[in-house]
Chains A and B, each alone.
Chain A
């Protein structure tokens, strides 16, 4: 790929330069290509190459499929290496054959029958799953545990890691190579080489100095970053760990750890390498592991040591441990591991269950003892380590076009000059000495050659038109912007999680100012994933006095002020936010429908799949639930006096208070006979239980639609009232569930149970059969009531979304949740309302379901596609009517993952895009991580809009990487999203600051910086160009070498950096108050060709002023002494004018002038004078010509100098000033109006404003909400219930075969409760 890129560059050059120059480039490209090949080789050996691509190549976006090719390259290369006998030592297979252990290993592995993919890889080592797993060396490694000497022979890698890009020796070559991959730098390298030839009119120093300064700055930056990485590595490498040495635990740093060592890791400690678990302080050799660093999952996973090794727990015992581990070679597959432990002539198979990965931490276990298997870079986590994907901002890509345009300008300028030189050269100018032995460049006999060579001359002369320091300046500005401004913004600091914002890349700052589409994950991003029991309806009575934010908004819209009653004795805990005196503390017994209440609470306490954990007291107990909804319901039951505290496989224990009489507490155990689990088609969950008194009840909870269908006839009133309540809840943005029960007759139950067991043990279509059986008993239900759970939004989300949408940003929600949940949240955060026209494309239609029943895959695909196509067409037709109608409703699109899969098909993609781009909000639900990425790329590539993805979990990684900008939510446990992101913020609402303040400013600043660079270099170079016309097109330089080389790097560089750092059109507070200002960025108003043309016009005008004013006015004598100026006096004069003007021009384009501006601009001008005073005052030995000697003193001795110095900058800037005045007066930008509106307001410190704003925020938020709120009550009821994402604890009951997963997601509670029970029984 690199080579291909270089080829593109060559094309570019051949366009610009003459042929022989292209030849030079080709040579350079070949050279660089070789270098790149070497780098690649090195990468392969380090086995650090392009892991990230591998990991995510599964999500084959277009880019990634290209990356896949590079993997092929690696594999090919691997083959190539093996062809050489010298690399024989690399062939592990040879070694493997000699090992007897391998043969024993094989049958045992096949017996295991796990990980077929892994096996395939070994038997056919060349078939590499594209991008998934690295090409594996076909072999295994043998580790002698606890025997350093034996392992020494095998030369395993050490445990020290290095994530640095360079080492001491490779820094210069590799760093330089990186730098010269930049077109501008390469160009300057060429020019520098060219300027060393006699064709150059300038001393090589002219080009070498800026280039080396630029390279120096870049290299220092690289070195600094690498140094930080090194320090980071050192910290990690020097972390201490206990290792077994001579029967004692010794503390040694991680880096000195070796393969085969026995280590001890204590609770909450991190594993220093990939370990084989030998023993744990927990019974049964179990330990708990948190893998948040690996995959972001925060639930604990369980690892179990082989029974044979359980005893090696103490240092004395462990010292006796001698074993030989034969296992696979290091690879990056996190979830597979195969190997054998050979001890005492026994071969024990190893599985991922015994493997503790580096980067994970030990939880709930006092300590474990393990043997080191993989170390350092060979650990699985390191082989998976992700580099931040390097993204380039759109503006930068557009900048490339500008540079290309400059190349074209340069080319035409050179061409004009070259033709001129060919025409001009003539022997009649005898004073040029063209007669005898003249060199080719001035030989009038070959005018073509003269033109050609002059072309080269002019190329070096005009090289300043390409702003060499532009990139490095921008980089510096962005670096400071991200490290100093974004990372340190107090407004983006989240105190609760103690997390400031973090810019992980500084490339994309200005891209933040142009975002048009935001793709947001729901859970953890928009919502807190915190479910709170908020309201309920029992027996037709509504309970719960809380008011949701949405209700409050509606009320205010109707002019009602709601006073929230503050109850001092209100119970509030995580998951429970319910206020109603009628139910609390047993008060429900006095209610009319006390019986219904009792059933309601029992249903809550019994019908669930929650596991209790921790101390058996209402305060300390913790519930492990599949979804937070469930936990909230159980917590609610607890607070109502039905405290569920223990579960055994057959029973649920509930501590009930106030049931018979107030204050009485009794423990009741309910025998659980059946659990009919929740799934998405059933949308309900039931439990059959037997009371201690023998009563048989089925408790059921589920979506209102499902429950209502199955209610027994009668009591229509309750039904009606409950439905009203449900709608009410739904309108308030709450998630609802209906509760019902049914008393069972033992005979009926027994006969049903037989069917149930039969269905459970059936081997085919078990799921379906179970569902059918469940239908038989889940009928004739009696409605108890309904619950309403508040899915807590993250703080400030509706306000933020509202603000962002006013800024012209469209927000799409991409979630793995169900369609109902997603719509619910969309309502809650103002993305949707009832005034919007909703298009719902869902696979949950009868037609599709019917096809799916039939089960023919091809048929299913075809018909769903057809269905989706029709739906899309219909939607577009309908939408078309609204497009034409200005006052028509806004549109919203809801689409689910299955339909999306077909809609993303190339044939339908365009339709999907048209529809979705015209929708104000889009909600995609039930989407996979891959689809999230696909949708993002659809908009990114299909619509060519700037996209931003925000998410918090591992499932958002692909989307984060696919978008232009990826934002991760930090501060929570999982780091996966953050590791993949470009920016990390703690809260969704900080997007407002990130985009509207930092992004907008960055965009504005970078645009101004780029434009300014463009202008100043063009101005400067054009004066040189005009001069060429008066020198017989000879390519004589107008300026001294040092002027030219320092122009960019000293005399005009500092102020522009100041501009890039401190430019502010309006204050941060105003940026957020007028989010519409952001649209200027989306429209790219400041970096259009029109803007470029304006600047170019001024550059031409000014250069003409400089050149002609100075030359015309210095025609006669300049002072009363009558002496004349020479060339160098005139050029020094011109240069002085340029430096002064260009710096003043910068001041003119600033909206906010700090003292740094004065220092910068003043300093630059002073720097020029200081320089010229020194430079023209010194007579250097090494100078070729002392052209400039005393020039400035001569100039300054004339009155002319001062008179001209006043005139020329003013004349040059006059037109700019007129333009600015007229523009502001007649065609003001929005920001200018806002400036004017607030011109008299002193900009207070933002923190002061903050306080004021704080008070305002809720009101503002509400008023925003008001404008967006539905005018009528929503008709949708917010049913939502997340199904467990994994096999639950109950799956293993009653002989159900659950495929044992290699990397089992275990519930620590479930594992704990069992031994406890068994112990009790023993006693």
Chain B
């Protein structure tokens, strides 16, 4: 646009600025001329971007998939199997009946060499640890600090009973998972290390060293496992694991570690203490033995996803190249401009 100063005698730029001139000062910002990179998504760019993603993703996918394939996992569902025959129609009644329950025996076959540590998980299904009422039913202060023992806000309905406040209070602790697993191999007890199964940060900071359980599971209805009264919460690792609530209704939690290699063909006897009630809500219970890779447990998803995305990108790169070769669109073809396309243009 012709600035009027240029039209007049002598350009406004050349002339020394008048006093009181309201001429805006030049700056790249106010004149909106900041140096900028202007990427144009040309076909070449599109194709190269796809290729790049493909090249990066496929190897990662392969590696991840290999990592996942390396993991040996044994899953055994035992919830219905561990109910005595005469109770199959009324599992809930069986599990809720007081008194000791006979141990349940399971046999696991090792199909592949398993390198130690072998992680023992229990997996629950249809258990809504992420339900709003459940998630908030705890009191972190009480867990951490012995002086806040009476801080039971949010713990309803498992906050206190006739004997006083419950430590740890709340539904989460109350419904602590309490099935037990014992493993033996060739009639030899396999030691399950139940230490170090929780995140260190939880142990050190969230559960107090000098907070001890109190009045726990001493009310009318017992929700789950009991805790040793003389062990501080920070050492009750199964509680710590349990209280790190899961994101989904189907979840695995670490039970312990077997620190011995298992050979292919080994048969492992599991002596199961089946106490935990998942029967009332048709929840499944599974026992999982798994090794890990650098990427964690057996999960093909990442690898497959990488491969899919990478493959798709390769495919797209290919098809775009084909289109480009067969029917190239010239860049900046003015005939594409809307006002050049149709007659009249409006």
Contacts and interface: CB of A to CB of B under 8 A. Distances in A.
13 contacts: A796-B2, A1030-B248, A1031-B128, A1031-B130, A1034-B132, A1037-B132, A1109-B305, A1117-B292, A1189-B205, A1207-B302, A1214-B309, A1232-B40, A1233-B333
B39 interface: yes
A1246 interface: yes
Contacts of B175: 430-431
A1112 B174 CA distance: 28
Nearest to B333: A1233
A1190 B26 contact: no
Interface stretch (B42-50, B80-88, B181-189, B265-273): B42-50
Interface residues of A, number: 124
Given A1200-B295, A1218-B316, A433 B137 contact: yes
A989 B292 CA distance: 73
B275 interface: no
Contacts of B246: 1124, 1126-1127
B31 A1246 contact: yes
Nearest to B223: A431
B39 A1153 contact: yes
A1079 B251 contact: no
A1074 B224 CA distance: 75
A595 to B, nearest CB: 41
A153 interface: no
Contacts of A1031: 128, 130-132, 249
B199 A1190 contact: yes
Contacts of A1119: 292, 294-296
A1193 B202 CA distance: 12
Q: Is the interface of B mostly helix, strand, loop or mixed?
A: loop
A205 to B, nearest CB: 15
Contacts of A1183: 140
Contacts of B25: 488
Interface in A1214-1267: 1214, 1217-1218, 1220-1221, 1224-1226, 1228, 1230, 1232-1239, 1243, 1245-1247, 1250-1251, 1253-1254, 1257
A1068 B323 CA distance: 34
Contacts of A84: none
A493 interface: yes
B128 A1032 contact: yes
A1239 B41 CA distance: 11
B104 to A, nearest CB: 22
B135 A1127 contact: yes
Contacts of A1179: 205
B297 A1122 contact: yes
A1093 interface: no
A548 interface: no
Contact of A1115 (B34, B43, B301, B306): B301
Given A500-B22, A1118-B296, 19 more contacts: A442-B133, A490-B23, A496-B8, A1030-B249, A1031-B249, A1076-B338, A1113-B305, A1115-B299, A1116-B290, A1117-B290, A1119-B296, A1124-B254, A1127-B246, A1199-B295, A1210-B57, A1217-B49, A1233-B332, A1233-B337, A1250-B6
Contacts of B206: 1186, 1189
A74 B38 CA distance: 57
Interface of B: 1-8, 12-13, 18, 20-43, 46, 49, 53, 57, 60, 64, 73, 117, 119, 121, 127-138, 140, 154, 156-158, 171, 174-175, 197-199, 201-202, 205-206, 221, 223-224, 241, 244-249, 251-254, 257, 277, 280-281, 290, 292-299, 301-302, 305-306, 309, 312-313, 316, 320, 323, 329, 331-334, 336-339, 343-346
A577 to B, nearest CB: 16
A484 B34 CA distance: 13
A208 interface: no
A1221 B29 contact: no
A431 B338 contact: no
A457 to B, nearest CB: 8
A1238 B127 CA distance: 61
Contacts of B313: 1214
A541 B183 CA distance: 124
A1042 to B, nearest CB: 16
Nearest to B43: A1225
Nearest to B61: A1207
A1117 B119 contact: yes
Contacts of A164: none
A47 B214 CA distance: 72
Given A496-B8, A1035-B132, A1152-B38, A1076 B339 contact: yes
B309 A491 contact: no
Contacts of B24: 487-490, 493, 500
Interface string A1159-1183: 0000000000000000000010001
A858 interface: no
A428 B117 CA distance: 37
A498 B18 contact: yes
- Which of the listed residues B132, B306, B309, B323 has the most CB atoms from chain A within 10 Å of its own CB? B132
Contacts, number: 340
A1114 B7 CA distance: 69
A1111 interface: yes
A1225 B329 contact: yes
Contact of B336 (A437, A484, A796, A1233): A1233
Nearest to A1185: B140
A1226 to B, nearest CB: 8
A196 B73 CA distance: 47
A764 interface: no
B344 A1190 contact: no
B40 A1236 contact: yes
B244 A1062 contact: no
In the A-B complex, the 4 residue pairs with the closest CB atoms: A1116-B297, A1236-B332, A1190-B201, A1237-B332
A407 B150 CA distance: 43
Interface in A420-458: 426, 428-433, 435-438, 442, 457
A745 interface: no
- Which of the listed residues A433, A1186, A1210, A1225 has the most CB atoms from chain B within 10 Å of its own CB? A433
A891 to B, nearest CB: 14
Contacts of A863: none
A872 B337 CA distance: 37
B281 A438 contact: no
A993 interface: yes
Contacts of A1153: 36-39
Given A1123-B198, A1200-B296, A1210-B57, A1116 B252 contact: yes
B38 to A, nearest CB: 5
Contacts of B202: 1190
Contacts of B331: 1236, 1239
A1098 to B, nearest CB: 16
A426 B253 CA distance: 25
B131 to A, nearest CB: 5
B23 A495 contact: yes
B131 A1036 contact: yes
Given A500-B22, A1062-B34, A1152-B36, A495 B132 contact: no
B40 A1235 contact: yes
Contacts of A436: 157
A1214 B310 CA distance: 10
Nearest to B2: A1257
Nearest to A1121: B292
Nearest to B138: A1185
A811 to B, nearest CB: 16
A1198 interface: yes
B199 to A, nearest CB: 6
Contacts of A457: 132
B346 A808 contact: yes
A1206 B64 CA distance: 13
A32 interface: no
A322 B46 CA distance: 89
Contacts of A992: 1
A1072 B199 contact: no
A856 interface: no
